[in-house]
Amino acid sequence: MTLRDETTRQLRRLTLERQRKSRVPGVFAGVVRGGGLAWSAGIGAARVEDLDTPPSDDDQFLVASNTKTFTATLVMQLRDEGRLSLDDTLDTFIPEVKHGGLTIRQCLSHASGMQREPVGDVWETLENPTPERLVHDFNDAERVHAPHRTWHYSNLVYSMLGELVARVDGRPWYDALRARILDPLEMRRTTVGFDGAHAQGYYVPPFTDVPVAEPVMELRGMDPCGGLASTGADLARWSAFVADPVAEVLSPDTVDEMCSPQLVMDVERWTAAMGLGFFLVRSGTRLYAGHTGGMPGHITAVFTDREASTGGVVLTNSGTTDDIAGWAIALADHVTDHDPVEPEPWRPGTELPEELAELVGRWYTEGSPFDFSVRQGRLEARAPSLPAHKPSSVFEKIDRDLYRTVAGREHGELLRVTRDESGRVRKLNWATYLVTREPLAFADHDHT
C-alpha cells in the first residue's frame, strides 16, 4: 500500500524528533501494512565511524526480548499439535524441575512468580548459563510471588520454555524455530546473535555526546528469552503474520488466543495486559500486540494493531532509548489516523436459509430487545443499545434447530430453537435464557 506524501513526511519527522530526543546514534523505523513495509527510514548511523550511512532494512539489531514472542509461538504450535496442554506443569516435560505446580500458561504470561533472572549476577558478569546449567540451577531460583498474584517478568522462565520446546520437539530450540517459523515466513535474516551486516550497539553517556561501543553477550541457555538478532524487513514479515496469521504456521484462532489478556501488567491505569507471549498495549481505543527488547546497545520494539492490520517497528542501536513501545505505536497510530485502510464495500448476500427465515427480527430476553438478522447466510444477534465497537453475536449451526454462539455476547453458549406442532418457531433459549417475540417479565414465563 502506498502512503500519501504528507504521511511519509510526518512519519520521518516523528522518527527524527524521537531520535534526537533520545540521542540515538542510529535507528531503523518502519510501518507495516499489506504484508510488508509501507514506509521505512534509516536515520543516523549504523556505526559512528561512518556517520553518513544510516541503518537499512537489512541491518541486524539485537531484538532481545522480542524473541519471547517466537518462543511462545513455538509452544502454542506444540499445544495445537496435541503434544502438550497449557495447564501441564513444567516438570511434566523437564522432570528435573522441583518447583511444583508451575504451569506452562503461567510461564507464558509471566504469572508464575518465579524470579526474573537465572541464578547468579549475569548482568554484572555478562556470563550466561549453558542450557544444562540453566536447568541444573533452576531449582535454586526463588519463587518470589504466589502464582497469578501479580505480573512478574521472568527471563529465566522463558529460557526454560525454550528447553521445553527442545525436549518436546526433539531438536535444539533454534533448529525448531528455524524450521517451524523463520523458514515458512521467509525470515532469512533472523539468527541467534549477529550473522552478517548489523548495527553496532552503543551506550550514550548522559553528560557527553561520545557513544561507547557495547559488547555482544553470548546468551547460550538464555537464547529462547532474548538471543535473536533480526532486521527491519524480517520483523515487518513478523508483524504482518501477527496481523494476518498464516494457518500453516499457526492457526488464526490460536493467535487470537495469544492476544487475549491473561493478567493486567499496568495495575495503576489498566493500559497494558499480558497475553500468551505478547504485551497487549492500549493506545486510545486501539489495542496493540507486540513486545519490546533491550540488550546492551540495542533497544527495539514491534507492535501490531491487528484490527487495522498496521504495525510499527523501531530498531535502535542505543541502550538508553526512551519509550520504545510508545515510539513504535505512535508510528502505526499516525498512519491509521491519517492514511486509514479503505473499508471493503458492502456486498449483498446471496441466500436466506429457510430454517433462519422465521428467526429474523426483534426478540426479547430478560425484558431487553435483541435484533436477529442474517448476514452472508449466517445468523447474528445484536442489542440495539450495543456500542458500535462491540461485535454482534454470530451463530453456527451444529444440528437441526441448534446453534453455537461463535462470537460476541455469550460466545460459546448454545441457542436452541423450539417449534410447535405445526413447525412454527415458538421460542428460543439462548445460554438457557428464554427468548420470546414479546417482552416478558420473569413472572410471565410459562413454566409448564
- Number of Cβ within a 10 Å radius of residue 404: 15
pTM above 0.85, yes or no: yes
**What is the maximum span of the chain, computed from C-alpha positions, in angstroms?**
87
- Please tell me the distance from the alpha carbon of residue 16 to that of residue 27, in angstroms, as a whole number: 9
- Please tell me the distance from the alpha carbon of residue 386 to that of residue 180, in angstroms, as a whole number: 41
Number of alpha carbons in the 13 Å side-chain half-sphere of residue 148:
8
User: Are the C-beta atoms of 408 and 393 separated by less than 8 Å?
Assistant: yes
Cβ neighbours for 294, distance < 8 A, ≥ 6 positions apart: 64, 65, 300, 319, 324
- Please tell me the distance from the alpha carbon of residue 185 to that of residue 192, in angstroms, as a whole number: 17
Residue 371 burial (10 A CB sphere; 0-12, 13-18, 19+): middle
Three-state secondary structure of 296-331: CCEEEEEEEECCCCEEEEEEECECCCCCHHHHHHHH
pLDDT tens, per residue, the chain with 448 residues: 689 999 999 999 999 999 999 999 999 999 999 999 999 999 999 999 999 999 999 999 999 999 999 999 999 999 999 999 999 999 999 999 999 999 999 999 999 999 999 999 999 999 999 999 999 999 999 999 999 999 999 999 999 999 999 999 999 999 999 999 999 999 999 999 999 999 999 999 999 999 999 999 999 999 999 999 999 999 999 999 999 999 999 999 999 999 999 999 999 999 999 999 999 999 999 999 999 999 999 999 999 999 999 999 999 999 999 999 999 999 999 999 999 998 999 999 998 999 999 999 999 999 999 999 999 999 999 999 999 999 999 999 999 999 999 999 999 999 999 999 999 999 999 999 999 999 999 888 876 5
CA angle 51, 56, 58 (to 5 degrees): 135
Q: Give the CATH number of domain 5-338.
A: 3.40.710.10
- Please tell me the distance from the alpha carbon of residue 282 to that of residue 271, in angstroms, as a whole number: 5
Residue ranges per structural domain of the chain:
5-338, 354-444
The helix/strand/coil state of 55 is coil
What topology is assigned to 354-444 in CATH? Lipocalin (2.40.128)
Residue 316 forms beta bridges with which residues?
Answer: 27, 299
